[in-house]
Structure 1
Amino acid sequence: MTTRLDALKRLSLVVADTGDLNAIQRYRPQDATTNPSLLLKAFDLSGYQELIDEELAAVRAAGGDRQAQVEHAVDRLAVAKGSEITKWVPGRVSTEVAARLSFDTEASIRKAHELIALYERRGVTQDRVLIKLASTWEGIRAAEVLEKEGINCNLTLLFSDAQAQACFDAGVFLVSPFVGRVTDWYKQATGQDYTPEEDPGVRFVRGVCERVSQGGYGTVVMGASFRTTGQVLALAGCPRLTISPALLEELADGEGEVERRVVMGRGEGTPSLPLSEASFRWGHNQDAMANDKLAEGIRRFAEDQKSLEGMIAERLDAR
């Protein structure tokens, strides 16, 4: 009997929302991701201590200002982890630009170049990497420049139609519209529970897929931030789905076929006129949920980055 995970893989490319190599080896996703939150977890796993020690030793030996050492160590660890992941996935690994750069286009571009250079030193070519940026106006502009340079990007923390449209206009390779965080906001605001078909996050991602099809855009849509397998299955047919190990396990343990719930067009539509900055900011501003969740998401990633930097500083000082 076919597992639901195997059935889902026939309809959507499955991406592992984890840096855990054990989970990646078990579920064999197409792509995977890493970010400060996932790197924080690695500090508690015995299997990653040797890698962490090696990278911190290299940073320590290079000398320099302590804060610069810490920031460089974060990048080295992210790339070291990402490089290991590329040995186990046939596709790409998403690697995140620090959240504190979310409103600085030039700094985001520089950081992306630094990450790509670190990957290339490890023998990982840029076509195996997606640079992950927040879907702010500045992040989207950075992605536009990077895409023209042949560096593909994954625009995350995407909650509004304005964000999606600006990403399409910029020729972004991939967008990650969120499901769970959208639904979390509406559940808190209304006190209501939703079936998968009524789920606001599911409906939002379906709308992004429809916009891509109708406009004939080349951007790949990857549903993200799932809370339940019901949400995942309600988006079967979305080009890509990034799923946590816990939900991958549920899908792998269940048997049965999976019905296609998202039908993508053939990209023969006509793109709309590009959004101006003013139109983008106004359109995003009019969506209270999107405003709240984008700001919260950036703060949360920044807090994890700060915690990670603190742990790295302690390890650097301990030797």
Structure 2
Amino acid sequence: MKFFIDTANLDQIREAHDLGVLDGVTTNPSLMAKEGIKGEAAILKHYADICDIVDGDVSAEVFSTDFKSIVEEGKKLAAIHPNIVVKVPMIKEGVKAIKWFSENGIRTNCTLVFSAGQAILAAKAGAAYVSPFIGRIDDSNWDGVELIAQISQIYSLQGFKTEILAASIRSALHIVKCAEVGADVCTCPLDSILGLLKHPLTDIGLAKFLDDAKKM
């Protein structure tokens, strides 16, 4: 399973990259605003800066919601760098745009997916990635990981090539559970990735090793 970091913070992206396990980045307008990135020129430059750090795919989200504007905006984003994947919302106009992009050599990430039916539409349209938001599904008293498992089974049976990108990850446990049920990618905050490092027995064992080393 590939690890993407969900942020627009360059320092966190560098830290995840230096850890040696980073495969890509996802970001969105909210995360850009959080970093104080405003205006089209600044946003496009920030995506370019991210691509300079990361070797893998970088999802860049469109602001538009109508077909023509999504396509025009997506073309600008895709022109930034070969690793840019245009992030398109799961709406009717978005599905139409994903089909256009797939026919014109531009890879897409269909975002805001909350059902298997939506995931099927995204795959049929030719999305490179589909992003189920499992944390938000959990917030609605449904099971986000169960949705990942359902999509994984459907894609396997139907031979869809779209990769399942588990989004809205809330914890290290979410990452493990998504890996268990067949997610191809997880995208999450740096804290969730670093959370995989932690185990009390590791801390106890290390403390003993260090204590024993002092006695040598």
Q: Following the alignment from structure 2 to structure 1, what is the Cα–Cα distance between the partners of residues 53 and 77?
A: 20
Q: CA RMSD in A?
A: 1.8
Matched residue, 1:91: 56
Corresponding pairs, count: 195
The amino acid that maps onto 1:93 is V
Q: Structure 2 counterpart of 1:211, which letter?
A: I
Counterpart position of 1:77: 42
Match among 116, 132, 140 for residue 185 of structure 1: 140
Change (3 A) 1:233 1:24: same
Alignment of 1:125-144 (within 5 A): 127-144=82-99
Amino acid in structure 2 at the alignment position of 1:182: I
- Contact residue 132 and residue 154 of structure 1 kept, 8 A: yes
Q: CA contact under 8 A between 2:61 and 2:88: conserved in structure 1?
A: yes
What residue number does 1:20 align with? 9
What are the ranges of 5 or more consecutive residues in structure 1 without an aligned counterpart? 1-11, 44-51, 53-72, 187-198, 257-319
The DSSP-based 3-state class of the residue aligned with 1:234 is helix
User: Among residues 24, 31, 41, which one is paired with 2:24 in the alignment?
Assistant: 31
Other-structure match for 1:108? 70
Report the residue type matching 1:24 in the other structure: I
Distance change in 2, residues 1:254/1:13 (3 Å): farther
* Letter of the 1:89 counterpart: V
Residues 34, 81 of structure 1: 8 Å contact kept? no
Matching residue of 1:40: 33
TM-score by length of 1: 0.58
Are the counterparts in 2 of residues 105 and 139 from structure 1 also a CA contact under 8 Å? Answer: yes
Q: Which AA in structure 1 matches 2:173? A: G
The CA deviation at 1:154 is: 0.5
* CA displacement at 1:76 relative to structure 2: 2.1
Q: How does 1:203-222 map to 2 (within 5 A)?
A: 203-222=146-165
Give TM-score scaled by structure 2 length.
0.84
Structure with more relative contact order (C-alpha pairs < 8 Å, separation 6 or more): 1
User: Amino acid of the residue matched to residue 21 of structure 1?
Assistant: L
**Residue 173 of structure 2 corresponds to which residue in structure 1?**
230
Give the Cα–Cα distance (whole angstroms) in 2 for the partners of residues 143 and 111 of structure 1: 12
Structure 1 moving runs of 4+ over 4 Å: none
Question: Which residues of 2 match residues 284-303 of structure 1 at below 5 A?
Answer: none
The answer as to whether partners of 1:35 and 1:78 remain within 8 angstroms in 2 is no
* Aligned residues of 1:223 and 1:242 also touching (Cα < 8 A): yes
Alignment partner of 2:101: what SS? helix
Q: Which runs of 5+ in 2 are unaligned?
A: 202-216
Give the drift of 1:255: 8.3
